[in-house]
Chain A
């Protein structure tokens, strides 16, 4: 059944200007300008109140098109945070024996990975448009990807991750990888969570696997969300059990 009209409105913050013309949304803010094309959607984009509100309408919409209203708004919200705060994705190198060597080339827009699992093959990953990459100075084996467009930054992180897949081996045993370990919109910092995580990391036993878990807990301190406490406690529980560590399931909880 078709609903005559379904619409949603979102507020646009002060320092951002949004322009909409023919389903192409351009967002401009302190960090730059981002554009997104919504021509594949059957929606009506309207700026109200002189640019302070964005309204998205679906006329005679099916369930599918009505679902797309809220995703379109979320996409625009991501554009806005990208242009005001930016996106930072952190990745850690995880290795058991062969240290993963990474060198950042091309003025922070490309990375070369050597010695992954002792292989001679050099993996080169070019960052996508507007994404910069650097090695973190304070933390060992950490990469920081910065950018405005969340799609491009996360895709660059995924590209790096996928280059470092282990082939023809038992991946439960060969846990080497470069893994996404948290992302931030903005520069927020949870120091009290960090101290709790450090405490838990000391409590957790120091085997090869468990050291990784310790690093995970440290890194998860960077997640500025309340669920992190639950995350830490479930991490600790999993590490105390005798099952083979499923790293991927741990991380993407």
Chain B
């Protein structure tokens, strides 16, 4: 019930609004009560409002405002990318991205696959029903 994810130096967060929507960033400094300085390996360090961030469970070990190379090394040591992609939140985002990037042919293939899957499930269910009533 108490809070588990805190805004601290090294907290990995997801940007949920604005130009960098969907990017994983690291909080490297706190500007004031409402804003933080964030940094990521592939972007220029900038300030952002906390309201535009969603905190994740991942935290890395850095000092206040590290150099870019130090930051990249720390992220690699903490294995942020893999941890993110294996977490349920990260997996959901990957699936969402894939679905959004489907073309019409892909959607057609998905439809066929879903029908096939539904058919198999219904067959198994019928078998189970037969066994339970028998």
Query: Hey, which bits of chain A sit against chain B, CB under 8 A?
Result: 2, 4, 20-22, 44-46, 57, 59-60
Interface of B is mostly: loop
A46 to B3, CA, bound (A): 10
B2: chain A residues within 8 A (beta carbon): 44, 46, 57
A4 to B32, CA, bound (A): 11
Least CB distance from B1 to A in Å reads 7
A45: chain B residues within 8 A (beta carbon): 1
Q: Counting CB contacts under 8 A, is B33 at the interface?
A: yes
Are A59 and B3 within 8 A (Cβ)? yes
Query: Hey, which bits of chain B sit against chain A, CB under 8 A?
Result: 1-3, 33
A2 to B1, CA, bound (A): 22
14 A-B pairs with C-beta separation under 8 A: A2-B33, A4-B33, A20-B1, A21-B1, A22-B1, A44-B1, A44-B2, A44-B3, A45-B1, A46-B1, A46-B2, A57-B2, A59-B3, A60-B33
Interface of A is mostly: strand
Least CB distance from A196 to B in Å reads 51
A60: chain B residues within 8 A (beta carbon): 33
Least CB distance from A216 to B in Å reads 49
Least CB distance from A114 to B in Å reads 53
User: Which chain B residue has the least Cβ–Cβ distance from A2?
Assistant: B33
B3: chain A residues within 8 A (beta carbon): 44, 59
User: Which chain B residue has the least Cβ–Cβ distance from A59?
Assistant: B3
User: Which chain B residue has the least Cβ–Cβ distance from A20?
Assistant: B1
A60 to B33, CA, bound (A): 9
A238 to B60, CA, bound (A): 71
B1: chain A residues within 8 A (beta carbon): 20-22, 44-46
A59: chain B residues within 8 A (beta carbon): 3
Least CB distance from A23 to B in Å reads 9
A46 to B1, CA, bound (A): 8
Most buried by A among B2, B3, B33: B2
A2: chain B residues within 8 A (beta carbon): 33
Least CB distance from B12 to A in Å reads 21
4 nearest interchain CB pairs? A46-B2, A44-B2, A2-B33, A46-B1
A8 to B40, CA, bound (A): 37
Least CB distance from A78 to B in Å reads 23
A53 to B61, CA, bound (A): 31
Q: A44-B3, A46-B1 are in contact. List 11 more A-B contacts (CB 8 A).
A: A2-B33, A4-B33, A20-B1, A21-B1, A22-B1, A44-B1, A44-B2, A46-B2, A57-B2, A59-B3, A60-B33
A46 to B2, CA, bound (A): 7
Least CB distance from B122 to A in Å reads 41
Least CB distance from A58 to B in Å reads 12
A22: chain B residues within 8 A (beta carbon): 1
Least CB distance from B109 to A in Å reads 46
Least CB distance from A150 to B in Å reads 27
Least CB distance from B4 to A in Å reads 12
Least CB distance from B32 to A in Å reads 11
A44: chain B residues within 8 A (beta carbon): 1-3
User: Which chain B residue has the least Cβ–Cβ distance from A48?
Assistant: B2
A21: chain B residues within 8 A (beta carbon): 1
User: Which chain B residue has the least Cβ–Cβ distance from A46?
Assistant: B2
Least CB distance from B33 to A in Å reads 7
A45 to B3, CA, bound (A): 11
A45 to B1, CA, bound (A): 8
A243 to B23, CA, bound (A): 79
